[in-house]
Structure 1
Amino acid sequence: MALLLFDCENCLILVIILKIIILNIISIINKLSMVNNMTAPVAENTVETAKHTVKTDVIESQQLLGPAGKVSIQHNGELYQLRQTRTGKLILTK
């Protein structure tokens, strides 16, 4: 088994070289991380944000439409009718 003997001067140079290598690796990793974040699809970020910030009330369609299966809605001075078809779909007409 061979032992490698270094004098203090060589050890100091080795330590400095290793520090430089480590700092360069960290710098490269940080740059790659920034590039990955910048190239992430905008739609994904928007959807995630929307999921966490949008809260809507839920109302059962039967409660809204009543026994007749239709309701009139006034919106911005216009009258709309929301009705349920025979197949259970909803149609909004002006």
Structure 2
Amino acid sequence: MLLKIIIINIILIDNKISVVKNMTKPLSDIIEETTKSTSLTDFAAKNGLIESQKLLGTSGKIAIEHRGEIYQLRQTRTGKLILTK
């Protein structure tokens, strides 16, 4: 039982050290590490990823109501997305 408590404490200390190390890293490094370790499927599951083609349909554009305002999201000829009010 004592060994179990010691192991748990070591894990907790290691996790705290990792957090402190991350606080001193540049944000770009943390984002890069997170991106590499997170698959697209994981990101989609956590953030509600929707493929633009499914959202825009064959017309390539969609109207979005947000807080009483209407916005248009459309795909350009070069494949980029533009959101306009």
TM-score, structure 1 normalization: 0.47
Residue 53 (structure 2) pairs with residue 82 (structure 1): no
- Aligned residues, how many? 58
Gaps of 5+ in 1: 1-32
**By how many angstroms is 1:43 displaced?**
2.9
Q: Among all aligned residue pairs of Structure 1 and Structure 2, give the percentage whose two residues are the same amino acid.
A: 54
- 1:93 aligns to what? 84
Could you tell me how far apart the structure 2 residues matched to 1:65 and 1:79 are? 16
| CA-atom RMSD in angstroms | 3.4
1:57-86, Cα deviation, whole Å (9 max, x unpaired): 111111100111000000011100000000
The verdict on how the C-alpha distance between 1:87 and 1:44 changes in structure 2, with shifts beyond 3 A counting, is closer
Instruction: Kindly indicate which of the two structures has a greater share of residues assigned to helix.
Output: 2
Q: Which of 30, 40, 53 is equivalent to 2:24? A: 40
Match among 38, 44, 69 for residue 60 of structure 2: 69
List structure 1 segments (4+ residues) > 6 angstroms apart after TM superposition.
none
Check 1:88–1:42 CA distance in 2 against 1; reply closer, same or farther (3 A cut).
closer
Matched position secondary structure for 1:59: coil
**Structure 2: 5+ residue stretches without partners:** 1-16
Give per-residue Cα distances to partners, 1:4-47, cap 9 Å, x unaligned. xxxxxxxxxxxxxxxxxxxxxxxxxxxxx8xx85x723636974
Show the counterpart of 1:59: 50
Letter in 2 for 1:88: G
